[in-house]
A and B are shown apart, each in its own frame.
Chain A
Amino acid sequence: MSLALLALTTFLASAVEMVEAATIVLAVGHTQGWRAALGGTLAASLALVALIVLFGGWLANAAALRGVELVAGPFLVLFGMAWLRKAIWRYAGLKAMHDEAAIYEREVAMLESESERRAGFAVAFQGVFVEGLEVAVIVVTFAASRAEGLLWAAAGAAAAFVVVAALAVVLRKPFARVPENAMKGMVGVMLLSLGTFWIGEGLGLTWWAGDVTLFLIAGIYLALSAGIVAVRRVKAAA
């Protein structure tokens, strides 16, 4: 299986979550100062890296064990389904699209009414940690594929972190134009497909076209998602 696919999946997942975290960090920076914003971001990032090194290292060592895919696969299926159905709801108009500008305004209003200076650090820490936790779990889960899986997955997530952080420093405003929902949907399809494939591997099932089956499964889930969106849109309009 392509390690680049793991890196791409964590890159996209990390980019989506970091765009959301950047909105909170920017709001903290503008209202309570950049020291609190960057301090909270750094502390949360270190905590996430520690989690990945600790649990990822342990799972990477267990990657050679038979049946470890049966632990990682179900996690990926559940995560993937959660990401994908949220994207489907948004495309079908059943849930509001993520509006970074509105979230930024709300965070700024909340922080301006907060007199406690340490609140900025806590809000930035929580924002980055909570948004990054799911990505950290995905990276750790990818370690179950093989030892290099952890490195590639972590590299993908780290690359997205660097790109989003650099853009946040340059632009100094929330990313309102990022196609978050499309990215969320893609990550959902990839996680769901990888999870399905790994469960099959763990159970010793024979896939119809070997490793290529992974892309067939992704195609099935993608087509199915498009179909669900179309049907739900028609129903909502009727």
Chain B
Amino acid sequence: MNALRAVYDFVTGGSIVAPAGLALALLCARFGAIWLVAILSLTLIASTFERP
């Protein structure tokens, strides 16, 4: 379990928002490239509100 957590933290930097936002961006990208950029931008903003 600790190894799994370490891999998760290594890939995501410990963020919960980033992978969730990425998944949403991948889903919405079918509506156009602007959606991909917009949702990833919002994800970046939201991820900075996680605890440092």
Contacts and interface: CB of A to CB of B under 8 A. Distances in A.
Interface of A: 74-75, 77-79, 81-86, 88-89, 92, 94-95, 133-134, 192, 196, 199-200, 203, 205-208, 213, 217, 220-221, 224-225, 228, 232
Most buried by B among A78, A134, A203, A225: A78
Nearest to A82: B13
B26 A199 contact: yes
B25 to A, nearest CB: 8
A153 to B, nearest CB: 18
Nearest to A96: B52
Nearest to B41: A224
A79 B25 CA distance: 16
Contacts of B13: 78-79, 81-83, 85-86
B12 A74 contact: no
Interface of B: 10-15, 18-19, 22, 25-26, 29-30, 32-33, 36-37, 40-41, 43-45, 47-48, 50, 52
Tell me the dominant secondary structure on chain A's binding face: helix
15 contacts: A75-B11, A77-B22, A78-B13, A78-B19, A79-B11, A81-B43, A85-B44, A85-B47, A94-B52, A196-B37, A205-B29, A206-B33, A213-B33, A220-B37, A228-B45
Nearest to A84: B44
Given A79-B11, A134-B10, A217 B18 contact: no
Contacts of A82: 12-15, 18
B18 A205 contact: no
A203 B37 contact: no
Nearest to B31: A205
Contacts of B43: 81
